[in-house]
Amino acid sequence: MNVNKYYNGQIYKIICNISGKMYIGSTTYNTSLSIRLKYHKENYKSFLKGNKCYITSIEILKNKNYFIELICNTFCNSSIDLENIKNKYIKELNCVNKCVSDITIAKYYNDIDEKIKKIQEDKDNKIQKIQKDKEEKIKKQKQQYYIDNKEKITKYQLENSTKIKKQKQQYYIDNKEKITKYQLENSTKIKKQKQQYCIDNKEKITKYRLNKKEEIKKIHNIYCVNNKSKIQKYQSEYYINKKEEIRKQQTEYYKINKRKQLILL
């Protein structure tokens, strides 16, 4: 049989004989006043060692001359009821406690939910920070490794270009669904990354395109021949989906160029 420990609760006060200051506390039937005072002493010792936060009962215990006394016995159904009775005495008596407003069950559970939510948010933020720092560290390590071994890596890539190409193709075949799913779920993120890369490496890309102009053209033509039906299908779908937008752009383009022609005339 479960016994409600709050049914025989107690409200007590600890008084300093030197300053006359008073602390109000509460306890349950299974914790006597002497044991409760012992807990206060242990908390005070832990505070002095830096292991506990400050609590107002320290103001009484620090002079090492005090006594504990019962204010009243209580008959409560829960810790909330006991806390409310204690708060009543805190408001009425001149004590060192910080005054607390009456607690309702709804507020009590709401406060708990808020605390749990905050703890979870802090935990998630901490995990995200750790992951981000880890990713940044790995990224920097990779960049540094590439800088330190640039010639070696370039040589290996040239010597094994066919092998690397086959490996990439095989990886794509083995993970096609996974890659497609990731691309669809992160399309905006990937687009932004590509745009940022183009901005950061504009000169490098322009130089590469000029140096490889004929080769790029050749690759493009081969791709167009091999994927003619695929390209036509994509163009048709794109036109259907962007029909209004394309028409609007064409109209705008026509207006701008018409004005130019009139100016030239």
Checking if the pLDDT of 15 tops 60, the result is yes
pLDDT confidence tier of residue 68, bands split at 50, 70 and 90 = very high
CA–chain centroid gap for 198, Å, is 29
What is the predicted pLDDT for the residue at 100? 60
Tell me which of 104-113, 120-129, 168-177, 254-263 is least confident: 104-113
At 20, the amino acid letter reads G
pTM beyond 0.85: no
Within 8 A by CB and 6+ apart from 103, the residues are 80, 83, 84, 87
Within 8 A by CB and 6+ apart from 89, the residues are 11, 24, 71, 95
Checking if the pLDDT of 168 tops 80, the result is yes
pLDDT confidence tier of residue 11, bands split at 50, 70 and 90 = very high
Question: Residues 153-166: what's their mean pLDDT?
Answer: 88
Which two three-digit tokens encode residue 39? 């807990």
DSSP H helical ranges for 65-201: 79-92, 105-148, 150-159, 161-174, 176-185, 187-200
What is the predicted pLDDT for the residue at 20? 93
Strand partners, 26: 11
Convert the pLDDT of each residue in 181-233 to its tens digit. 998 898 888 888 898 988 988 888 888 888 888 888 888 888 888 888 888 88
What is the predicted pLDDT for the residue at 99? 59
The candidate with the shortest Cα–Cα distance to 69, out of 52, 84, 89, is 89
What is the predicted pLDDT for the residue at 16? 95
Which two three-digit tokens encode residue 255? 């207006």
